[in-house]
Amino acid sequence: MTHVLQVGQLKPSLAETLRAEYDALVLPQDGDTSSFLAEHAASIGVAVTSGRVGVGTELMRALPSLQAVINFGVGYDTTDVAQARERGITVSNTPDVLTDCVADTALGLAIDVLRRISAADRFVRRGAWPSEGNYPLTHRVSGKRVGILGLGRIGSAIATRFEAFGCPVSYHQRTQMADSGYRYLPSPQELAAAVDILVVATAGGSGTRGLVSRDVLEALGSDGYLVNIARGSVVDQPALVDLLVSGRLAGAGLDVFADEPKVPEELLGLDNVVLLPHVGSGTVETRAAMERLTLDNLAAFLADGRVLTPVPEVVS
């Protein structure tokens, strides 16, 4: 009998469906999985997981009968897609359904960090307005030069939103898009040097690790702002912290971090940094759509060995 395995914590309703309709096994989360795998590994054909957890190298090696990894989320850098490709394991994700909400989050972070909305809210709540007077002036968003690092589905949706604010948009990615209508710059560093707001919207994984390096952040400069709704691994986090603390970067809006849920202590007291707990797609509507697509991918694979939305690296 082929079993479905739940790897990591999932949306409660999704986990319940896996249990009730698929009699899914659940990988223990206490750190000791050896006895569980010894008993069940040979029978596990499909793993259902999330972008935050994934099916990493060691777990995938321990599942000799694995045929598919069904991912709840658009990011899949936590899954060993290279090994999956070698073994013919299908990997799916949930693109498109979360594009708008993540793009909304990117725009919201930019508005918040430039206008200091969260900081001004804290100013009012601590009773500082009557005693300290008017809040200091902030910076406008409209008309700012925006750079998008990664002009995929989400990056394009972000660009459209900034266009509505009268912002000229430039971008960089590995391949120039002939019909994008936006200015292309040949490197992340050149993009950063040419814009006021750099939005990171590229995929995670080994291919983009540290792509936003210290040199890129320094090119963005003391008047520049970073917004990251991609993966924390894409940015040199120690360099980012150093530049923010020393005032060599104007501010940052961050939904993702290098070692979640840990956030650098140095950032917690900075009013020019907005910190979110990886909630870019965290709306009722989007998470429901992600759940439906995850279950549709699972059902499709079990029915005929194909998924509706395979990830590009391991198209089946």
pLDDT tens sequence across 86-140: 999 999 999 999 999 999 999 999 999 999 999 999 999 999 999 999 999 999 9
Whether residue 153 lies in the annotated active site: no
What is the pLDDT, as a whole number, of residue 314?
A: 47
Query: Quick check: is 128 in a domain?
Result: yes
Do 224 and 105 fall into the same domain?
Answer: yes
Query: Quick check: is 280 in a domain?
Result: no
Structure-token pair, residue 186:
């040949």
Residue whose structure tokens are 């006895």:
35
Do 93 and 104 fall into the same domain?
Answer: no
Angle at 77 (CA atoms; ends 86, 260), nearest 5 degrees: 150
Do 228 and 215 fall into the same domain?
Answer: yes
Contact 51, 93 (CB under 8 A): yes
DSSP-derived pairing of the beta strands 225-228 and 197-200: parallel
Interatomic CA distance for residues 267 and 148, integer angstroms: 23
Residue 152 has pLDDT above 80, yes or no: yes
Query: Quick check: is 258 in a domain?
Result: yes
Angle at 226 (CA atoms; ends 184, 100), nearest 5 degrees: 75
Whether residue 278 lies in the annotated active site: yes
Interatomic CA distance for residues 230 and 118, integer angstroms: 21
Do 225 and 123 fall into the same domain?
Answer: yes
Query: Quick check: is 271 in a domain?
Result: yes
Q: How far is CA 83 from CA 42, 69, 92, in A?
A: 18, 12, 14
What is the pLDDT, as a whole number, of residue 313?
A: 57
Do 37 and 122 fall into the same domain?
Answer: no
Structure-token pair, residue 313:
């690296």
Interatomic CA distance for residues 26 and 8, integer angstroms: 8
Do 113 and 170 fall into the same domain?
Answer: yes
Query: Quick check: is 306 in a domain?
Result: yes
% of the chain exceeding 70 in pLDDT = 98
Do 52 and 195 fall into the same domain?
Answer: no
Interatomic CA distance for residues 134 and 128, integer angstroms: 9
What is the pLDDT of the chain when averaged over all its residues? 95
Active-site pick, 260, 266, 285, 292:
260
* CATH number of 120's domain: 3.40.50.720
Residue 189 CB neighbours (<10 A): 18
In single-letter form, the type of residue at position 246 comes to S
Number of domains comprising the chain: 2
Do 111 and 260 fall into the same domain?
Answer: yes
Interatomic CA distance for residues 120 and 128, integer angstroms: 10
Do 44 and 155 fall into the same domain?
Answer: no
What residues make up the domain containing 175?
A: 99-275
Structure-token pair, residue 92:
């799916």
User: For residue 41, what is the DSSP state?
Assistant: G
Please report, to the nearest 10 degrees, the dihedral formed by the alpha carbons of residues 163, 201, 207, 88 taken in order: -110
Do 235 and 143 fall into the same domain?
Answer: yes
Interatomic CA distance for residues 285 and 46, integer angstroms: 26
Query: Quick check: is 153 in a domain?
Result: yes
Do 163 and 308 fall into the same domain?
Answer: no
Phi, psi (degrees; rounded to nearest 5) at 226? -110, 135
Do 71 and 122 fall into the same domain?
Answer: no
Residue 81 CB neighbours (<10 A): 22
Structure-token pair, residue 81:
């897609």
% of the chain exceeding 90 in pLDDT = 92
Query: Quick check: is 223 in a domain?
Result: yes
Which letter, b or e, does each residue of 158-175 get, where b requires 16 or more Cβ atoms within 10 Å of its Cβ?
Answer: bbebbeeeebbbbbbbee
Whether residue 19 lies in the annotated active site: no
| pTM for the model | 0.89
User: For residue 108, what is the DSSP state?
Assistant: H
What is the pLDDT, as a whole number, of residue 176?
A: 95
What is the pLDDT, as a whole number, of residue 179?
A: 87
Angle at 106 (CA atoms; ends 105, 111), nearest 5 degrees: 95
Active-site pick, 145, 153, 278, 313:
278
Residue 84 has pLDDT above 60, yes or no: yes
Active-site pick, 161, 172, 231, 287:
231
- What does the pLDDT look like over 291-315, one tens digit per residue? 999 999 999 999 999 999 999 854 4
Q: Which of 30-34, 109-113, 190-194 has the weakest average pLDDT? A: 30-34
Query: Quick check: is 154 in a domain?
Result: yes
Structure-token pair, residue 56:
């990493």
Instruction: Name the CA radius of gyration of the chain, rounded.
Output: 21
Mean pLDDT of 15-28: 97
